[in-house]
Copies of this chain bind each other. A is one copy, B any other.
Amino acid sequence: MSYPSRIEKLIDLFSKFPGVGPKTASRFVFYLLRKQDSQIDEFLEAVVDLKKSVSLCKFCRNPFEPNTNQLLCSICSNPLRDKTLLCLVEKETDLMLLEKTNKYPGLYFILGSLLTPLKKKETEKIVISNLLKRLKEPLNFGIKADFKEVIIAISDTTEGQATALYLERELAPLKLKISRLGRGLPLGAEIEYADEETLSSALEGRK
C-alpha cells in the first residue's frame, strides 16, 4: 500500500528540501491536507511573493527586497562598510550569523555551496569565475572597492577545508591577503574533548 499519487508527488518534492527525508515530507503533506483553503492560499501567495519581491544582490548574492532599480543589498550599498575586506561564506544563514556578531565591517560573497574541486564540476568553475570577477572588477557590479583581504569564513569540516585550499590556490595569483577563521576552543568547550589540532591552535592563539 502506498499513498495516492498527488500525495506521493508532493512528498517527493518536500523530500528535496534541505534536511528533509520521506517521513518528514509526508508529515508536511498531511499538515497541508488538514489546513483550510484560506491557509493554503496564504502559503501559496507567500511563495509567489517571495520569488516576485525578493532579488539576489548583484554583488554578494544575498537575497533582499529591492526598491525600483536597486541592484545592491543594504550591506553592499552601505558607504560605511569597509571596501577592502571580502568575506566568503557558504550560504545566506552564515552571512547572517557573521552580521549578528557586529564585528565584521567589510563585504561578503555567498559561494552558494562548498566546492568539491575533485569532481571538477562546471559549478565550481562558475563560482570561482564569479568570485574573480568581483575581486578584479568590482565596479562592474556597482561597487567601488579595493580589496586587500579575502576572509574564507567557511566550516572547518573536511569538505570545508578542501574548499578553502581550492579557493586559496585559485586566488593566489591576485596577491591578496587570504585569511581563515581562527581555530580554537569554542565557547563552552571542555579541554577533555578537544582534539590536538584545536588545542594547539588555542595555545598559539592565547591572549
Contacts and interface: CB of A to CB of B under 8 A. Distances in A.
Interface residues of A, number: 91
Interface string A171-207: 0000000011111111111111011111111111111
Interface string A110-129: 00100000000000000000
A4 B203 contact: no
A146 interface: no
A200 B6 contact: no
A103 B34 contact: no
Interface in A1-34: 1, 3-7, 9-10, 13, 17-19, 23-24, 26-34
A192 B30 contact: no
A130 interface: no
Given A181-B203, A184-B186, A205-B182, A3 B191 contact: no
Contacts of A64: 4
Interface of A: 1, 3-7, 9-10, 13, 17-19, 23-24, 26-34, 37, 40, 42-44, 46-51, 53-54, 56, 63-65, 89-94, 96-101, 103-104, 112, 151, 153-158, 160, 179-192, 194-207
16 contacts: A5-B65, A6-B50, A9-B49, A13-B46, A18-B28, A19-B24, A97-B192, A101-B199, A155-B185, A155-B189, A157-B188, A182-B204, A182-B205, A182-B207, A183-B202, A186-B194
